Chains A and B, each alone.
Chain A
């Protein structure tokens, strides 16, 4: 195990808080969706928080992040402000994408957050290209690319892995394997259900990790990034996880049993960490209360911020279709 990993109490408290920020934020989003403040599709990350938090805590500020349509957690963990994320879901100009993208298209240049892609598998070639640019421009940054196990069936997955390996690109592929692509279980979509093993055939190093355990995810990510930096090669991390909610707001969940969901909820990342910390006397009830209160305050402020955001005037409809020449460097 690597030298840089310092799992002390303070760090665990921070990780717990990050996960709770995502959890409570999304619970709020579900409410706001019911109130029709948020529209379109809403894909909740609840249950999968340990992955975003574990991975992001290892990445450097220069690394790029490519996400999917289930990306609120990635954005928050990456440091995109909660207010600008929520404003985006409201469709206000104060949103991180000026309101033009909504829930599935969070973008943030300042944190190198490259979206928010609603085409399954679409982010993989993009991330590979960002990594190519890093290599050609001799930057030390790497590109982290999140995708679901459903994306593994798309050609983009295979084409990207091949190119990344062939050209030895510094890209970290992170498969969030929650076992379902909408209503299609992994066993019904893949002949080989071990996704890490798929990396083998491209000569890409890979590992599987318990995506419900934030410490494991962080440790595995650290190992992966050190490998990428020292070897100048891609790496694939498969995180085993589960989404506790439906695929989106329109899912009647005909494809899985309630008992199965309950079983996974037992292993939930927040619950697990709280339990472990308590059992080892690392967490006082008052500390947990304080965290919850902080998070609640942050969420309330985000809601106020989003509510106060401006609607873009209709006269601006056709802005940002083309870039003016001066922005090209």
Chain B
């Protein structure tokens, strides 16, 4: 199979380019996606290539332009709306939650919203609290939405196309710490977007994670291997709907689980997954499920405190060992 090496950012751009080339109904809309070249330079060059009719710079009005995206989708277009970061999507949350997610149901199935919303997410760049929080969990809470978290270059490249093919509003979260990373992109997607994947097989413990924390979990798994612990790494990929069978099968095989989630532990997605394991996999467990989440504090600016607040490889390793030892 032919594969290509590129940065995560370039993989995202390749996905956008393909989408724009394939379907004239597709357009990209958001703050500074055009002339500025995209807040994180993902859409750099697309304005020159596709023109201002299809690469649309909007004013600063998240609620407005996301809502307009919903309307355009209703009207038969295939909008890709970029919200600079998930932090600013809170201003558009009403449109996403009260309108995009509910229209199909409230209209008795008459209308649907084939909209894709892309947002950068994640901490690690010392941008302080208002630019660093992980709100994926908010959206994963909402029936009617699909929530994707591309952690690999392959997913960065192909999940957009899969999302556009889906008739529902789909949110894609792109972790900012992945953008510059080089990686390989195969010539076709790894799996359908709603499937969780085993990124590293193992037999002793399941490390379940998604997005920006997948590389950390993989590194942790390697370190655990050196201590004779075989960790399986599960990449959720899709945070709503969750692929329960894949994650439960993994736990049934390893009998132990550690969940890694950049959100705060209280009310986290990790909490939900833990409950799923408890409800449907309790009898296969050899130890309580443990979670590695962000510290319960707005993310601080100084590097040492920011890093201390976020899930780290060392913490994953220590937690996994504690679970192995029944502590």
The reply to whether A183 and B302 form a contact with Cβ atoms under 8 Å apart is no
Partner of A314, one of B60, B61, B87, B308: B308
Across chains A and B, the number of contacting residue pairs, with CB separation under 8 Å, is 128
A321 at the interface (CB under 8 A from B): yes
A105 adjacent to B59 (CB under 8 Å): no
Count chain A residues whose beta carbon lies closer than 8 angstroms to a beta carbon of B: 40
Residues of B within 8 A of A120 (CB): 60, 88
Q: How far is the CA of A157 from the CA of B287 in the complex (A)?
A: 53
Interfacial residues of chain B within 270-290, with CB under 8 A of chain A in the complex: none
Known: A188-B57, A317-B309. A101 touches B128 (CB 8 A): yes
Alpha-carbon distance A41/B84, docked complex (angstroms) = 15
**Which residues from B are CB-within-8-Å of A154?**
60-62, 91
A188 to chain B: closest residue by CB: B57
Contacts of B58 in A (CB 8 A): 184, 189
Is A308 in contact with chain B by the CB < 8 A criterion? no
Check: B36 CB closer than 8 A to any chain A CB. yes
Q: Which residue of A lies closest to B305 (CB)?
A: A317
| Contact digits for B296-327, partner A, Cβ 8 Å, 1 yes 0 no | 11101111110011000000000000000000
A182 touches B31 (CB 8 A): yes
Partner of A254, one of B35, B60, B64, B87: B35
Q: A184-B31, A254-B37, A318-B295 are in contact. Are A91 and B131 (CB under 8 A)?
A: no
Assuming the contacts A119-B87, A184-B36, A255-B35, asked whether A314 and B59 have C-beta atoms less than 8 A apart, the reply is no
> Given that A101-B128, A183-B37, A317-B300 are known contacts, is A312 also in contact with B305, CB under 8 Å in the complex?
yes
Whether B296 lies near A104 (C-beta < 8 A) is no
Are A100 and B128 closer than 8 Å at their CB atoms?
yes
Q: Would you list which residues of chain B between 33 and 73 have a CB under 8 Å from chain A?
A: 34-37, 39, 57-64
Q: How large is the interface on B (under 10, 10 to 19, 20 to 34, 35 or more residues)?
A: 35 or more
Query: Does A252 touch B at the CB level, under 8 Å?
Result: yes
Q: How far is the CA of A302 from the CA of B14 in the complex (A)?
A: 46
Give the CA-CA distance A252 to B37 in the complex, in Å.
9
Say if the beta carbon of B162 comes within 8 Å of chain A: no
Once bound together, how far apart are the Cα atoms of A154 and B90, in whole Å?
13
Q: Does B194 contact A (CB under 8 A)?
A: no
Q: In the complex, what residues of A have CB within 8 A of residue B64's CB? A: 153, 155
Most buried by A among B36, B58, B131, B296: B36
Contact of B60 among A105, A153, A321 (CB under 8 A): A153
Q: Which residues of A contact B295 (CB under 8 A)?
A: 317-318
Report whether A317 and B302 are in contact in the complex, using a CB–CB cutoff of 8 Å: no
- Complex CA gap A270/B263 in Å reads 46
A28 within 8 A of B: no
Smallest CB separation, B52 vs chain A (Å) = 9
Q: Does B188 contact A (CB under 8 A)?
A: no
The answer to whether A183 and B304 touch across the interface, beta carbons within 8 angstroms, is no
Which B-chain residue is minimally distant from A314 (CB atoms)?
A: B308
Residues from chain A with Cβ under 8 Å of B128 in the complex = 40, 100-102, 104-105, 118
CA distance A202 to B132 in the complex (A): 35
CB distance from B294 to the nearest CB of A (A): 11
Would A312 and B60 count as touching, CB distance under 8 A? no
For B304, the chain A residues whose CB sits under 8 A away are 311, 314
Q: Let me know if A102 and B297 touch, CB within 8 A.
A: no
With A40-B125, A117-B130 already in contact, the answer to whether A102 and B301 are too (CB < 8 A) is yes
Taking A184-B36, A189-B59 as given, write out 18 further A-B residue pairs in contact, using a Cβ cutoff of 8 Å, ordered by the A residue number.
Answer: A41-B127, A100-B300, A102-B127, A118-B131, A150-B60, A155-B61, A155-B91, A181-B60, A182-B31, A183-B34, A183-B35, A189-B60, A254-B36, A254-B37, A311-B302, A314-B304, A317-B295, A318-B295
CB-defined A-B contacts under 8 Å, sample of 25: A39-B303, A40-B126, A40-B127, A40-B128, A102-B126, A102-B302, A104-B127, A105-B130, A105-B301, A119-B91, A121-B60, A153-B61, A154-B91, A155-B61, A181-B32, A181-B60, A182-B36, A188-B35, A254-B35, A255-B35, A311-B302, A314-B308, A317-B309, A318-B295, A318-B297
A residues with CB within 8 A of B: 39-41, 91-92, 99-102, 104-105, 117-121, 150-151, 153-155, 181-185, 188-190, 247, 251-252, 254-255, 311-312, 314, 317-318, 321
What 5 A-B pairs come out closest when comparing CB atoms? Answer: A183-B36, A91-B302, A102-B301, A153-B59, A189-B59
